[in-house]
Chains A and B, each alone.
Chain A
């Protein structure tokens, strides 16, 4: 067995152990879940050190026949992009488990099921990023929805059942469109190669006529745009984020939604280069709309007197951030690509920090309204400062990790599309607004009645958030290790696109 398989199996075994635990052993369940996820994270980091950074192509490759009748293989492998996304998931899972220690206690089902579902989800995430067989990718892509569905519907708040169903139906719909495209690719591969295949490398060698390519591209792209989410396919996200527990939201927005942008790079660009170039400008427009749309809605949440919801605000900021990521992907320069990939990682960490801290604020204050958090700076200084740092990372303050990625995306985009890059830059100003307004209203200012006796972060909470904050600051100053891993993969994608002219910007 290969290391990726083991990495994926470990959480699954852990979750099986959790489900077998007797009723009432909640503490033990939490400890087992945390232990398993830490072991997996360490194993994953260990694996990353043996990753050859200078090589292109997939590493840690593994391939077994699964359904030979259809040419389906169990094929895994990672390049720089997928490796980092897997690491993101592996690091964030123990953080979420530790940070959300008590989150599951008000749920419909038992605590052990909550952590069991999280571990299953971890397995699916490893699988979806590591799959190099499109069929296998699709299976993980769809199967992944089930644990999230139960996490939102079973442990969330408010309109949780409706939000869970909306999430599931949107994703299934996108997935089915993708299935049609996958079938199309499979049939074409059967006509052009000796045997039909789902292998992503072999499929990228096909020559597909332009009309078919456009149709197939759209099938994939819509599925990924729903997942990412890109305007106008985003409407499920705010509901899901509002209903889900903060821990679920971290995994959903921080990691799972990256499958969308990852899929655009891995499948849309490499399988349908012509169609990608053709649709590129349209998608750039959609990205810009997303940037502003997300920002405006976030500002609206932040400024609305009374019922501005902090979870909704964070989810809208994510729509804006995903706009930047897709902008970088479809600008087709090396810098914008590296920036977009880096953005995925950084967004994962800064959103995780925002959601987790917001979750602690909510659980202490028993309210999600931004206006209820006044004066936290004085009552709970550590929590307030950490929220501030996370917010600054979200608005891409220089010195924090998101700055590097946003800068790279915009510079890279400018080389090819100057005007969209300039418009995108204006989006940063709105980013400052949507972060600073809630920071000002929630953290500073007079203490809202009812906040006087809130307690600051406990040791467990501090320890659990520490790695995230450390990552945000460290990679803000020194992003080179990440870029070293990303760059070869990014240039490999672009060279497959055969884009000539402005390689690497000016």
Chain B
């Protein structure tokens, strides 16, 4: 038997990041503590940049790779590019040293002497960088996977580092560890569903590749009940990852408990990866079964929008508000999948691309508002921020308007594109639901703006810290992206439209 042919060139972006992650592990193990931070950040940024460069070089590719277990086509390129950009921005936030977002030693028991010692010594472990790189490589594999097994492996490569990273918070260690455990347990459940579903589909289709599944649906007419059961279980696993209702329960806790830079990274990157994978499955692999999954996804999309927006209103913690906002956005994004058309594909990719910048920017600003003990995420203490630091409040307002989808921000372009696609495909119910949900969502975004501008500041030690260049750069890039793609989105739209095709 011959060794399978591996296309190193077009798999380059993924391989570069994976290799850098492994180098990061070696650095962590062998290099003296003093040089670790600089080496780790250097490796991470260089790897992401190199991978992006390689991605640009192979942007015209459209073929299957690694014995048909992966598909490197325009859709993959766009999604991997998004993952790399958001990963880079997330890394910038994670590398910020001024705030001590991360615990010095993840293994130390909260409040113990060991933890105190580690804190006092000022030596922080830097395992978060290789973990982030592993997550990025998983997120790049996930939307490229063209095979249920590859999909499962990449899901785990993406998720396992995130479970760990969620528990690394320096402040409120217990909350953070609780979040990590919840995320892990529920994630394990969903993985089981996912795997079980894969088994059913394999049983019916006789193949784990998407091409094989696609072919078998055409041949069998798609009426086999095991196929449907398998698809349902697979859907549960995917919906968990995109935090769609009723599988969203982990999101607020994990978003709140994780160190904020990790939350920013996770919010943008997992959303891109998970929707990227979902779109390949629903559009390519099981597109022939649209009659079976569309009504379910419509219901889930509407419920997700409703839960995300309505429950967000009652939240008092800014990170939880943003978590519910992320859930609502998953509902909006599902409408792009429901559309099942070239427009829907374009719109979903545009939405993901614009959403990532805005959401990373939002969380980046959350890292800035602090008191002596760390971040202040209690909404009431954001009162009067507009008076205290008009620039930060102004930028945050821009991001919130972007999330709310107000015209002239990138969020509106994404929303318009995705609703248009859904309407065009005849699914007017989700458009109406989406519009109503947007109206409700506007309420809690505006409430935060009111808080910042129309309430008087409370003197309780809350202040905006001066960030280092890395956080400033992240916020600036995100703000510019939110504004420019809102006012002049044409270049991005035409780039995505021309790239977004599946390899046949």
Give, as a whole number of angstroms, the nearest-CB distance from A171 to chain B: 10
Q: Among A138-146, A291-299, A317-325, which stretch is in contact with chain B?
A: A138-146
Contacts of B413 in A (CB 8 A): 67
Among B407, B419, B438, B488, contact of A143 (Cβ-Cβ < 8 Å): B407
Q: In the bound complex, what is the Cα–Cα distance between A108 and B455 (angstroms)? A: 10
Do residues B419 and A69 form an inter-chain contact, with CB atoms below 8 A?
Answer: no
Residue interface mask A136-169, B partner, CB < 8 A = 1: 0011001100100010011000001100110011
Q: Is A129 an interface residue, CB under 8 A from the partner?
A: no
A186 interfacial by beta-carbon distance below 8 Å = yes
Q: Is the CB of A67 within 8 A of B446?
A: no
Which A residue's beta carbon lies closest to that of B487? A66
A61 on interface, CB distance cutoff 8 Å: no
Per-position contact with B for A168-209: 1 when CB-CB < 8 Å, else 0? Answer: 110011001101100110110010000000000000000000
For A142, A161, A187, the residue with the greatest tally of chain B CB atoms inside 10 Å of its CB is: A187
Chain A neighbourhood of B453, CB < 8 A: 108, 150, 153-154
Q: Mark B398-431, 1 if CB is under 8 A from A, else 0.
A: 0001000011100001001101100110001001
A183-B416 in contact (CB<8A): yes
Task: Please judge, given known A-B contacts A160-B454, A183-B423, A187-B424, whether A70 and B416 are in contact too, CB under 8 Å.
Answer: yes
CA distance A168 to B454 in the complex (A): 14
Q: Which residues of B contact A183 (CB under 8 A)?
A: 416, 419-420, 423, 431
A481 interface hit (Cβ, 8 Å): no
| Whole-angstrom CA separation of A146 from B442 in the bound complex | 13
Q: How far is the CB of A140 from chain B (nearest CB, A)?
A: 8
Q: Mark A236-255, 1 if CB is under 8 A from B, else 0.
A: 00000000000000000000
The complex places the Cα of A142 from the Cα of B431 at a distance, in Å, of 19
Query: A69 with B494: in contact, given A165-B446, A169-B446, A183-B416 (CB under 8 Å)?
Result: yes
Q: Which residues of the other chain, B, contact A139 by a CB distance below 8 angstroms?
A: 407-408
Least CB separation from B404: chain A residue: A172
Residues from chain B with Cβ under 8 Å of A161 in the complex: 450, 454-455
Chain A residue at minimal CB-CB distance from B437: A176
Nearest to A178 among chain B residues (CB) is B435
A187-B407 contact in complex given A67-B489, A69-B493, A165-B446, C-beta closer than 8 Å:
no
Report the Cα distance A190→B438, complex, angstroms. Answer: 25
Q: How far does the alpha carbon of A69 sit from the alpha carbon of B494 in the complex, in Å?
A: 7
B497, CB-defined interface residue at 8 Å:
yes
Closest-CB distance, B495 to chain A (whole angstroms): 10
* Cross-chain contact A176 with B435 (CB below 8 angstroms): yes
Cα distance, A69 to B446, chains bound together (Å): 30
Measured between beta carbons, the chain B residues less than 8 angstroms from A108 are: 387, 453-454
Docked pose: A150 CA to B393 CA in angstroms: 14
Q: Which residues of B contact A165 (CB under 8 A)?
A: 446-447, 450
Q: Which of A67, A153, A177 contacts B454 (CB 8 A)?
A: A153
The answer to whether the Cβ of B29 comes within 8 Å of any Cβ in the partner chain is no
Q: B330 to chain A: closest CB distance in Å?
A: 19
Bound state CA distance, A478 and B423, in angstroms? 50
B489 and A180: CB pair below 8 A? no
Determine whether B443 belongs to the interface, using a CB cutoff of 8 Å to chain A. yes
Q: How far is the CA of A392 from the CA of B424 in the complex (A)?
A: 53
Q: How far is the CB of B486 from chain A (nearest CB, A)?
A: 10
B454 — which chain A residues lie within 8 A by C-beta? Answer: 108, 153-154, 160-161, 164
Q: Does A46 contact B (CB under 8 A)?
A: no
Smallest CB separation, B234 vs chain A (Å): 31
A-side contacts of B420, CB under 8 Å: 70, 183, 186-187
* Alpha-carbon distance between A154 and B450 when the two chains are bound, in angstroms: 10
A187 surroundings in chain B (CB, below 8 A):
420, 423-424
Q: Whole-angstrom distance from the CB of A269 to the nearest CB of chain B?
A: 23
Shortest Cβ distance from residue A165 to the other chain B in the assembled complex, whole angstroms = 6
B225 within 8 A of A: no
User: Does A450 belong to the interface (CB within 8 Å)?
Assistant: no
B490 with A142: CB separation less than 8 A: no
Q: Indicate whether B299 reaches chain A with its CB closer than 8 angstroms.
A: no
Q: How far is the CA of A179 from the CA of B431 in the complex (A)?
A: 10
Q: Does B296 contact A (CB under 8 A)?
A: no
Whether the Cβ atoms of A169 and B490 lie closer than 8 Å is no
Query: Are A142 and B407 neighbours in the complex by a CB distance under 8 Å?
Result: yes
A108 and B428 CA atoms in complex are apart in Å by 44
Q: How far is the CA of A190 from the CA of B406 in the complex (A)?
A: 24
Residues from chain B with Cβ under 8 Å of A146 in the complex? 401, 406
A169 and B419 in contact (CB under 8 A), knowing A154-B453, A190-B424? no
B473 to chain A, nearest CB (A): 25
List the A side residues contacting B494 at CB < 8 Å. 68-69
Residue on A nearest B493 in the bound complex, by CB: A69
Q: How far is the CA of A118 from the CA of B302 in the complex (A)?
A: 39
Which residues of chain B from 369 to 410 have any CB-CB distance to chain A below 8 Å in the complex?
Answer: 387, 401, 406-408
Measured CB to CB, the nearest residue on chain A to B433 is: A180
Q: In the bound complex, what is the Cα–Cα distance between A68 and B493 (angstroms)?
A: 9
The 6 tightest CB contacts between A and B, nearest first, are A161-B454, A139-B407, A69-B493, A173-B439, A180-B435, A176-B435
Pairs across A and B, CB under 8 Å, 5 listed: A139-B407, A139-B408, A154-B454, A176-B438, A183-B420
Task: For the A-B complex with A70-B417, A164-B450 known, give 11 more contacts whose Cβ atoms are closer than 8 Å.
Answer: A67-B413, A68-B490, A68-B494, A70-B420, A70-B493, A142-B407, A146-B406, A154-B454, A161-B454, A173-B439, A184-B428
